[in-house]
Amino acid sequence: MADLRDPSERVSPRARVMWTVEALVNSVFTLGVYVVVGLVWDPVPFTWWLVTGVALLMLAYVVLMPRWRYAVHRWEVTETAVYTQTGWWTVERRIAPMSRIQTVDYAEGVFSRLFGLASVTVTTASAAGALEIAALDRTLARELVERLTRRADAVAGDAT
């Protein structure tokens, strides 16, 4: 059986920029909605000090979250298993033995496509759900899908 250990590979360094842009877009949109709702529908007096406080919290999120997340996110594929480590508030390490892999999926979201990145999702016969390796270089992600598919196919068993 595989050990629960730190995976050796990092996601793409471009992930930090992508996660920063995503956080910035989400924060600006959320703050804009908050300001518009506060100005239009005002059951409680709208205060700019509260908007400033929320904006400062969002700025801290935009600056800190991508760097922290990049420091935590790791992955590794061995002959016997796929290892992932994800999170930024909480850290989750997971192992998917090759014999348990049912499907391997490749996905590019809007932001990941802009940065030449993609995600690989490994679905297993686990109640914990699929393992996702996010923010990989697009070429590496395609190669990984092919490699995992070949390895999972070579392992005897029915992945249950």
- The SS3 call for residue 87 is coil
Q: 52 pLDDT exceeds 60?
A: yes
Q: 2 pLDDT exceeds 80?
A: no
Higher per-residue confidence, 62 vs 160:
62
pLDDT digits (tens, 9 = 90+) for 3-48: 666 899 999 999 999 999 999 999 999 999 888 877 787 656 667 7
Between CA 12 and CA 19 the distance in angstroms is 11
Q: 157 pLDDT exceeds 90?
A: no
The reported pLDDT for the residue numbered 66 is 97
In Å, the largest CA–CA distance within the chain is 66
Between CA 21 and CA 23 the distance in angstroms is 5
The reported pLDDT for the residue numbered 127 is 85
Domain architecture of the chain: domains with CATH: 1-160 (2.30.29)
The reported pLDDT for the residue numbered 10 is 97
The reported pLDDT for the residue numbered 34 is 82
pLDDT digits (tens, 9 = 90+) for 99-135: 999 999 999 999 999 999 999 999 998 888 999 999 9
Q: What percent of the chain has pLDDT over 90?
A: 72
Between CA 82 and CA 75 the distance in angstroms is 8
